[in-house]
Amino acid sequence: MIEFSLGQISKIVDGILEGDEASIITDLAEIQHAKEGQLTFLGNPKYRKYLSITKATAILVPKDFSSFYKNLIRVKNPNLAFSLMISCFRPTPPLPNPGIHKTACIAESAKLGENTYIGPNVVIEDKAVIEKNVSIFANSYIGAETQIKSESVIRPNVTIYHNCQIGSKVLIHSGVVVGSDGFGFVRTEKSIKKIPQAGRVVIGDDVEIGANCSIDRGTLGDTVISKGTKLDNLVQIAHNVKIGEYCFIAAQSGIAGSSTIENGVTIAGQVGVAGHLKIGAGAIIAAQSGVSKDIPPGTIAFGYPAQEQKKARREIANIRSIPDIKAKLKEVEKMIKGSK
């Protein structure tokens, strides 16, 4: 059994303990479900309502937390502190030991760095370069001349087409397709002709790509996902899209061709971004929004079409008040008719 004292935990999370440092924690739980012997956290104010019912032995809270509880650990960022403790109590299974499974199919011209793991039925094509400490799990495909830099992890059933570049410490989850053809076609009088997709996909360091994402290669230039960006599951990135550093893109969002997402942008779930647009640095696009024009830096936008949040809310409020306005107009009409 894994266990830590509150004194030990406060040191791990660099927090200030208010309570019994000898109390023992044996597990973690959400605040509404936590029991004696468990550690929880309060990262979102809406969960304060559970303070009266939680049975947690201790709570990770912000430094300015004001309510009383028997054992508190004050930290700068409760979410980050709790994630550190998840790693302590429920560590991720270690990566496999280096080695090449006997069923892997590796081209003679491919290059493998030291300490790589190549799992069952993996295919690595001509002139691919796999740097040191890379792990590629079962049934994944690495196309010709693709490069995967050091310490990246490719989970099972990932397809990376030819001539793609994957940075260092990248994590790609199962079912992802990197480098498939962009959606490029030209109509003729009698048919639809395909435009060759001759660009690449370039993924920067420390990027994470969730399960079943699709990232299309550029038509001539590159589709780029820059350093530190995180993609949720089921995200579609079209040809020639440029995504900046440290962006968040949530599930079921799609970004159409040649759009640019600048650094630090957050795109919530089920957002659609039309082609050839620019979303400025630090912008936030709320869930289920449809972006049809450029979004300035730092803007919080939502709606369809997406626009600045305060303006959109005013418009929605006005629309919802239309039935009341109509009713009042009818009363005025009756008064006018009655006075004639």
pLDDT tens digits, residue range 89-125?
999 899 999 999 999 999 999 999 999 999 999 999 9
Considering the domain architecture, whether residues 287 and 197 belong to the same structural domain is answered as yes
Asked if the structure places residue 161 within a domain, the reply is yes
Residue 331 lies in a domain: no
Do the domain assignments include residue 202?
yes
Whether the predicted pLDDT of 304 surpasses 90: no
Question: Rounded distance, CA 108 to CA 255, Å?
Answer: 37
User: Same domain, yes or no, for 153 and 265?
Assistant: yes
Could you tell me if 171 and 305 lie in one domain? yes
Residue 336 lies in a domain: no
pLDDT of residue 231: 98
Per-residue pLDDT, averaged over 144-150, amounts to 98
- Does 243 score more than 70 pLDDT? yes
Here the tokens at position 48 are 């304060």
Instruction: Show the domain range for 31.
Output: 4-89
Same domain, yes or no, for 83 and 176? no
CA distance 303 to 295: 13
Which of 21, 54, 89 finishes a domain?
A: 89
Query: Amino acid letter at 309?
Result: Q
Q: Is residue 53 domain-shared with residue 165, that is, in the same domain?
A: no
Please list, in sequence order, all residues whose beta carbon lies within 8 angstroms of the beta carbon of residue 46, skipping any fewer than 6 positions away.
none
Answer whether residue 174 shows pLDDT above 80. Answer: yes
Q: What CATH number does residue 148 fall under?
A: 2.160.10.10
Q: Where among 58, 89, 120 does a domain terminate?
A: 89
pLDDT in tens, 203-240: 999 999 999 999 999 999 999 999 999 999 999 999 99
CA distance 326 to 333: 10
Q: How many CA atoms lie within 13 A of 97 on its CB side?
A: 0
The answer to whether residues 72 and 172 belong to one domain is no
Confidence of residue 340 (pLDDT cuts 50, 70, 90): low
- Asked, for residue 63, whether it belongs to a domain, the answer is yes
Same-domain status, 197 and 303: yes
Q: Quick one: average pLDDT of 73-92?
A: 96
Q: What is the mean pLDDT of residues 248-254?
A: 98
Check which CATH number belongs to the domain holding 34 and give it.
Answer: 3.40.1390.10
Q: Is the full-model pTM beyond 0.85? A: yes
Q: Do residues 109 and 53 both lie within one domain?
A: no
Mean pLDDT, residues 135-145 taken together = 98
The reply to whether 145 falls in a domain is: yes
CA angle 280, 227, 220 (to 5 degrees): 75
Angle, alpha carbons 171-237-276 (nearest 5°): 140
Q: Are residues 158 and 215 in the same domain?
A: yes
User: Is-cis flag, bond preceding 305, omega within 30?
Assistant: yes
pLDDT band at 311 (very low <50, low <70, confident <90, very high): confident
pLDDT category at 80 given cuts 50, 70, 90 is very high
> For residue 68, is pLDDT > 90?
no
Per DSSP, the three-state class of 78 is helix
Query: Would you say 172 and 158 are in contact if contact means Cβ atoms under 8 Å apart?
Result: yes
Q: Are 144 and 125 in contact (CB under 8 A)?
A: yes
Adjacent-strand bridge partners of 154: 136, 172
Residues 104 and 47 in one domain: no
Q: Choose one of 31, 56, 89: the last residue of a domain.
A: 89
pLDDT in tens, 279-295: 999 999 999 999 999 99
pLDDT, tens digit (0-9, with 9 covering 90-100), for 11-51: 999 999 999 999 999 999 999 999 999 999 998 889 999 99
- The residues annotated as belonging to the active site are 239
Claim to verify: residue 144 and residue 247 sit in the same structural domain: yes
Pick the most confident of 253-262, 299-308, 319-328, 329-338: 253-262
Domain-embedded: residue 30: yes
Whole-angstrom Cα distance, residue 13 to residue 28? 14
Q: Which of 249, 212, 257, 200 is nearest to 229 (CA)?
A: 249
Task: Quickly tell me which residue has 């796999």 as its tokens.
Answer: 130
* Count of the separate structural domains present in the chain: 2
Q: Is residue 340 part of a domain?
A: no
Question: Are residues 266 and 239 both part of a single domain?
Answer: yes
pLDDT above 90 covers a percentage of the chain that reads: 86
Asked if residue 259 has pLDDT above 80, the reply is yes
User: Mean pLDDT over all residues of the chain?
Assistant: 95
User: In the chain, what's the furthest Cα-to-Cα distance?
Assistant: 97
